[in-house]
Amino acid sequence: MVLTRKLKYDTPVLSMGGVGIRMSKEIKLLGLTIDSKLTFNSHVANICKKALNLYKQLSRAAKISWGLHPDVIRTIYVAVVEPVIMYASSAWASSAKKLGVQKLLNAVQRGFAQKLCKSYRTTSLNSALVLAGLLPLDLRIHEAASLSEAKRGVGQLATGDGEMERTTKFQTVRIYTDGSKIDGKVGASLSFRSNEVETKCKKLKLSSYCTVFQAELLAICRSTREIIKHPKDSFGIYSDSRSSLEAVTNNRSLHPLVVEIRRNLEECKRRNKRVALFWIKAHASLEGNERADQLAKEATLKLKTKPDYDLYPHASGDRSVWGRLRYGTKGTVMAKPQQLRSFSSQTP
């Protein structure tokens, strides 16, 4: 099949193994019938024929005075008939403006609309659509095509004074982070990837008393530092630690690493750098996440450098305070909290 706008053109002669290949006037690709003139008349005729076959089966069980309830008919129409007709509508939506195509679509929709409102066969299409609360098929096709273009960022959908949400743009640089704690040793890692190829990696060491939560936050924090210095302007940080990402988005969290992450993100915004945070499932065979997990384990077990982070976690501080209250500084057992309260109430 040859697709061209020229009125006069030479038909190519093709052969394979000495056998001539004939030119076809139309082909069927993924359920969409494409003709050489791109009129899509064959495709519309095929889908209307399928829809009419469905209507014949439905009409046997839905009569004016008995049969299927209108709600059941509406469910069948919305869930079965419309998807059959509107399949790949974004490709052939322009053909729905032609009068011939609209007549075919109206002939199909009229029968279903009459069954929905339990009307007689002489009821007009417009009246049946109003009573059934349906939108004409040609308008539904244009609506679906407009939504598809808006989701892909191709067209602009009219939404009044508001704006339609857009899908996240492809990140130029993806940074996978991970933290690990094995046998009392703690480490973290970063893996920079561009076009599915690792361009840079970094291993971080933490003190043995640090937690995995601190390691995950440290990896995200170092990622934001690297982003500030990076020449690119679009980044995605991927972490499998939901608690760390929730802490970053929680404005009430005053963890020092969280505060620094927010400060770095604000600096990125001032420099017109787009940074997005993503949660990914751990050990789900994602190449970037698996690489970050491997680097974190190597940093935990093999890295012999000075710790990049050595602050005690809050939980450790709480345990040490309780230990001093209970055992004292030299191991002597002290009074329990309730005994301390009773003692303080007896003192003048």
* pLDDT tens, residue by residue, 148-179: 877 766 655 555 556 656 555 556 899 999 99
158 part of a folded domain: no
Residue 321 is predicted with a pLDDT of 45
- Is the same domain home to 132 and 194? no
- Is the same domain home to 99 and 200? no
Q: Measure the CA–CA gap between 41 and 101, rounded to whole angstroms.
A: 7
120 part of a folded domain: yes
Residue 170 is predicted with a pLDDT of 58
The two three-digit tokens of residue 168, written as one number: 């996240």
Q: Is the dihedral of CA 60, 63, 68, 70 positive or negative?
A: positive
- Is the same domain home to 326 and 283? no
Distances (CA, A) of 22 to 6, 11, 14, 19, 36: 20, 10, 8, 10, 14
Residue 339 is predicted with a pLDDT of 38
- Is the same domain home to 36 and 115? yes
168 part of a folded domain: no
Residue 179 is predicted with a pLDDT of 95
- Is the same domain home to 54 and 181? no
Residue 64 is predicted with a pLDDT of 86
Residue 137 is predicted with a pLDDT of 93
Regions in the chain scoring below 50 on pLDDT: 318, 321-322, 325, 329-348
164 part of a folded domain: no
- Is the same domain home to 90 and 76? yes
121 part of a folded domain: yes
Residue 195 is predicted with a pLDDT of 85
Residue 199 is predicted with a pLDDT of 93
Residue 125 is predicted with a pLDDT of 92
- Is the same domain home to 208 and 240? yes
The CATH number of whichever domain residue 303 belongs to comes to 3.30.420.10
* Beta strand residue intervals within the chain, DSSP E: 14-16, 19-21, 26-29, 32-35, 173-182, 185-194, 197-206, 234-239, 274-279
- 324 φ, ψ to 5°? -70, -35
- Is the same domain home to 342 and 330? yes
- Is the same domain home to 132 and 214? no
Residue 155 is predicted with a pLDDT of 55
157 part of a folded domain: no
Q: Is the dihedral of CA 151, 152, 158, 159 positive or negative?
A: positive
1 part of a folded domain: no
Residue 167 is predicted with a pLDDT of 53
4 part of a folded domain: no
How many separate domains does the chain show?
A: 3
Whether residue 144 contacts residue 90, with contact meaning beta carbons closer than 8 Å, is answered with yes
- Is the same domain home to 217 and 130? no
- Is the same domain home to 187 and 282? yes
Q: Measure the CA–CA gap between 21 and 49, rounded to whole angstroms.
A: 30
Residue 176 is predicted with a pLDDT of 96
| Residue 122 lies in domain | 14-151
- Is the same domain home to 261 and 186? yes
| Of 100, 121, 151, the domain-final residue | 151
